[in-house]
Structure 1
Amino acid sequence: MADPRCPQVYLVSDGTGITAETLARSLFTQFPDLDPAWHRLPFVQTPGRLSSVFARIGAGPQPAVVVATLANADLRQDLRHSPVPVIDVFGEQVGRLEEVLGVTAQPVSGRAHGMGDVTRYDRRIEALNYTLSHDDGLSTQDLSVADVVLLGASRSGKTPTSLYLAMNYGLFAANYPLVPEDLGQGDTPHMPRSLRGLGGRLVGLTITPQRLSQIREGRRPGSQYASLGQCRAECAAIQEFLEIWNIPHLDVTELSIEEIATQVRDTLDRIRGT
């Protein structure tokens, strides 16, 4: 018997399906009591392929819904033959934009997540390479090239945030772990030589000791590194360091990587007055 609490969500796209999935998952966050089953169906670019998709959907469990991002107008017309309800992302919005802008769309399958603007694509690849080579303080050379340098304790989310910034926004994002040598032993913490002169490119990530201990415990169970006492000492010292050097910082304890990255960008914009 079909379970109404577990709807089948079919993500039908003529490209990668990233747009359809992002939208669908955002919509379903508004229904926390549901547990959707996700079915990714990318590169649906012909009527025959769409017909086979419909056959699969019709034979599957119910309830079900299709979230479609199809650029081709003929394929969007074929969505009328879907055996289950359809959320046609492009169908309604593209037409509305044409009305508002007075310009006719030029649909191309997969454009949203294809190479598109080659310059922007190349920038993202260069940024990703830079971020990988400047992860966790591995290299402190060329930090002057960085768009942002994230500072914080080990396991506070610096690496995934840096990678997200590079892959999605083409930002040259480095990250640097603040270690006891940087934080001082009862003295005023000094600014590491490699970070001097970076000014408005430094952003700190702070986290509660309890959450940091929980994360580290998953990596090194029972270690001094993961102990609550160690995490408390590091978090307090890092907070002091960031305040002494007037470095803007974010509490990332309850934030997702996407939220951290967005707030980092907002922080950089405020610093630069843009």
Structure 2
Amino acid sequence: MAGGEPEEPRCPQVYLVSDGTGITAETLARSLFTQFPALAPDWHRLPFVQSPGRLSSAFARIGEGPQPALVVATLADGQLRAQLEHCPVPVIDVLGEHLGRLEAILGAQAEAVAGRAHGRGDAERYDRRIDALNYTLAHDDGLASTDLAVADVVLLGASRSGKTPTSLYLAMNYGLFSANYPLVPEDLDHGGTPHMPQPLRGLEGRMVGLTIHPQRLAQIREARRPGSRYASLEQCRAETRAIATFLEVWELPQLDVTERSVEEIATRVRDLLELPR
């Protein structure tokens, strides 16, 4: 309005329309919206839209809903993608905008199979991911240590430094057998040179230490156990110092996770250990 305060941007309704789970559409859309920090969109996932009738029903819902709105679509079927022209709001057609160009580059025709990106697809890869997830759950936080030699990666660090979510991410997304081991004061306080805990011996080349600023660690622990010695800044400083010494003495790769997301931690762990893609 002229002469007045600038109008704040309206937060859009974002509809994730997919013939499968909608994970691909949501991942892309959320990534794009990180570049618009002033906006806080409302997210609506509409999965398994695999017929013209379901897509028309989705359009009716979208058209009747709050505005502004947009659709991010991942539809493999050409007939459904053509129907996107009748959508009452703007559409980002993820597959339509790229499949044709990729077909031209590859000289091959896309099969246009719905739900393939996050379906069973490659059964061998799927089974590997499930086996890896089971292994990771069984080896969370040092629960089991008798078969750590099977692990592709072993994450070390203080309690609440992100080992568990990173391990699960590595297993679920990449099929990596990931274990994590908490370095507790009993492992570190031996005077002189820190010793290598027995379960970790012989795992050089597969271990990565996750480090974290003590202030951030104290904040995370305080949310879990308010007012405890476990969450005190003094305790967190002592543990992070001892762990840093341990990692340096044993020359283990380390990664500061203080300001990093689980996705970034997992990617950097794979790079540090040069794990297969």
Bin for the TM-score computed over the shorter chain: over 0.9
Shift of the alpha carbon at 1:273? 10
Is 1:183 aligned to residue 149 of structure 2?
no
Would the aligned equivalents of 1:131 and 1:162 in 2 still touch at CA under 8 Å?
Answer: yes
Letter of the aligned partner of 2:199 in structure 1? S
Structure-2 residue corresponding to 1:16: 21
Pairing of 1:166-181 with structure 2 (within 5 A): 166-181=171-186
Is 1:192 aligned to residue 222 of structure 2?
no
Pairing of 1:218-237 with structure 2 (within 5 A): 218-237=223-242
Unaligned runs of 5+ in 1: none
If the length of structure 2 is used for normalisation, what is the TM-score? Answer: 0.96
Unaligned runs of 5+ in 2: 1-7
Shift of the alpha carbon at 1:6? 1.2
Shift of the alpha carbon at 1:181? 1.7
Shift of the alpha carbon at 1:231? 0.2
> What count of residue pairs does the alignment treat as equivalent?
270
- Structure 1 residues 92 and 231: CA distance shift in structure 2, 3 A: same
What is the percent sequence identity of the aligned residues?
A: 77
Shift of the alpha carbon at 1:262? 0.5
1:199-239 superposed Cα distances (whole Å, 9 cap, x missing partner)? 10000000000000000000000000000000000000000
Is 1:147 aligned to residue 152 of structure 2?
yes
Looking at structure 2, the residues matched to 216 and 184 of structure 1 have their Cα atoms a distance apart, in angstroms, of 21
Shift of the alpha carbon at 1:4? 4.3
1:39-70 superposed Cα distances (whole Å, 9 cap, x missing partner)? 00000000000000000011011111000000
Structure-1 residue corresponding to 2:101: 96
Looking at structure 2, the residues matched to 34 and 273 of structure 1 have their Cα atoms a distance apart, in angstroms, of 37
1:150-199 superposed Cα distances (whole Å, 9 cap, x missing partner)? 00000000000000000000000000000112112432110011101111
Is 1:126 aligned to residue 138 of structure 2?
no
Structure-2 residue corresponding to 1:79: 84
Is 1:63 aligned to residue 37 of structure 2?
no
Shift of the alpha carbon at 1:240? 0.3
- Structure 1 residues 13 and 273: CA distance shift in structure 2, 3 A: closer
Would the aligned equivalents of 1:4 and 1:63 in 2 still touch at CA under 8 Å?
Answer: no
Looking at structure 2, the residues matched to 88 and 209 of structure 1 have their Cα atoms a distance apart, in angstroms, of 45
Taking only aligned residues, the RMSD between alpha carbons, in angstroms, comes to 1.2
Is 1:240 aligned to residue 245 of structure 2?
yes
Looking at structure 1, the residues matched to 120 and 146 of structure 2 have their Cα atoms a distance apart, in angstroms, of 30
Pairing of 1:30-69 with structure 2 (within 5 A): 30-69=35-74
Structure-1 residue corresponding to 2:5: none
SS at 1:104 equivalent: coil
Looking at structure 2, the residues matched to 100 and 258 of structure 1 have their Cα atoms a distance apart, in angstroms, of 30
Looking at structure 1, the residues matched to 32 and 84 of structure 2 have their Cα atoms a distance apart, in angstroms, of 20
